[in-house]
Amino acid sequence: MFTRFTPSHRGGSGPPLLCLHGFTDTWRTWDLVLPALERRHDVLAPTLPGHAGGPALGDEASAAQVVDGVEEAMDEAGFATAHVVGNSLGGYVALHLAARGRAESVVALAPAGGWAVGDESFRATLAYFTSMQETLRAAAPHAEAILATPEGRRRATAYTTVAFEHIPTDLLVHQMLGAAGCVGAAPLVESALREGWRLDAERVDCPVRVVWGTEDRLLPWPSAAQRYRRDWLPAADWVVLDGVGHCPQLDVPIETAQLILDFTGW
């Protein structure tokens, strides 16, 4: 089951809720919070274009194409608008959907793109993804053996979570294989290096909550949030989680689900 890559998941009932995963991940990053979210919402969790199980990217890959692809998934699901939650790249995409008028609210978990103008550290983050994918492609045939030990699971989650013991091994295998098979990784990295990060923040007129863990090793707090805090979303509802890593939905799923549901019920 966990080695299959599918384009989306839908379940639950209630107001529409769209869940968007991070770079090189799949929709299954939401597995630990889906039961709580689906008790209150009609949840659509698509795999982003260019990612394992998701639709293909166009010839010239870009963040805008990813946003376009998510809009198409919303249209197919009959979601004119939705509450949107996104992690990392998914948080960046969620805010772009808000700027296009497709979001009722946004909960952005460590959204990408928030480096201050002139801060070139994003290049090191993108380089990490390139080298990480090369490593994972070599390790993929041995994924189950690597993740069979606590040491292997700790290494696999070092950049995403602080707590890892509760995450099912099968889910970690799925994420490792998904990241290794993310064909859109290289073209999206090239696009980000070429185009940088932009947001029509003045067009984001829905409620926004931004959640960031103090132990985020991929997008460190607060440096990777500077542009959101100072320029784009200073009036957002900011929540800082002590001792939490880059993927709160995996790290502290109960707390994360409550942070989402408290906000979508405003």
pLDDT reported for residue 60:
79
**Is the Cβ–Cβ distance between 170 and 147 less than 8 Å?**
no
Q: What is the pLDDT of residues 46-60, one digit of tens each?
A: 999 999 999 999 877
pLDDT reported for residue 3:
66
142 assigned to some structural domain: yes
pLDDT reported for residue 59:
78
Q: What is the pLDDT of residues 15-68, one digit of tens each?
A: 999 999 999 999 999 999 999 999 999 999 999 999 999 999 987 789 999 999
Q: Which of 218, 175, 172, 139 is nearest to 24 (CA)?
A: 175
51 assigned to some structural domain: yes
3 assigned to some structural domain: no
Mean residue pLDDT across the chain: 96
Q: Does residue 4 register a pLDDT over 90?
A: no
Q: Which of 247, 111, 88, 67 is nearest to 171 (CA)?
A: 247
Q: Does residue 102 register a pLDDT over 70?
A: yes
Catalytic residue among 9, 21, 51, 88: 88
Q: How many folded domains does the chain comprise?
A: 1
Among 29-38, 51-60, 174-183, 198-207, the range scoring the smallest mean pLDDT is 51-60
Tell me what the mean pLDDT of segment 110-123 comes to. Answer: 95
Domain residue limits at 28: 8-264
Q: Which of 254, 261, 75, 266 is nearest to 163 (CA)?
A: 254
Is 83 catalytic? The answer is: no
Dist CA 221 CA 254 (whole Å): 22
The percentage of residues in the chain with a pLDDT greater than 90, rounded to a whole number, is: 96
Q: Which of 30, 171, 147, 158 is nearest to 90 (CA)?
A: 30
Is 105 catalytic? The answer is: no
Dist CA 167 CA 174 (whole Å): 12
Q: Does residue 83 register a pLDDT over 60?
A: yes
Dist CA 120 CA 145 (whole Å): 37
174 assigned to some structural domain: yes
Q: What's 211's domain CATH number? A: 3.40.50.1820
27 assigned to some structural domain: yes
Q: Does residue 2 register a pLDDT over 80?
A: no
1 assigned to some structural domain: no
Q: Does residue 1 register a pLDDT over 60?
A: no
Among 30-34, 59-63, 135-139, 254-258, the range scoring the smallest mean pLDDT is 59-63
- What pLDDT band is residue 266 in, cutting at 50, 70 and 90? low
Q: Does residue 183 register a pLDDT over 60?
A: yes
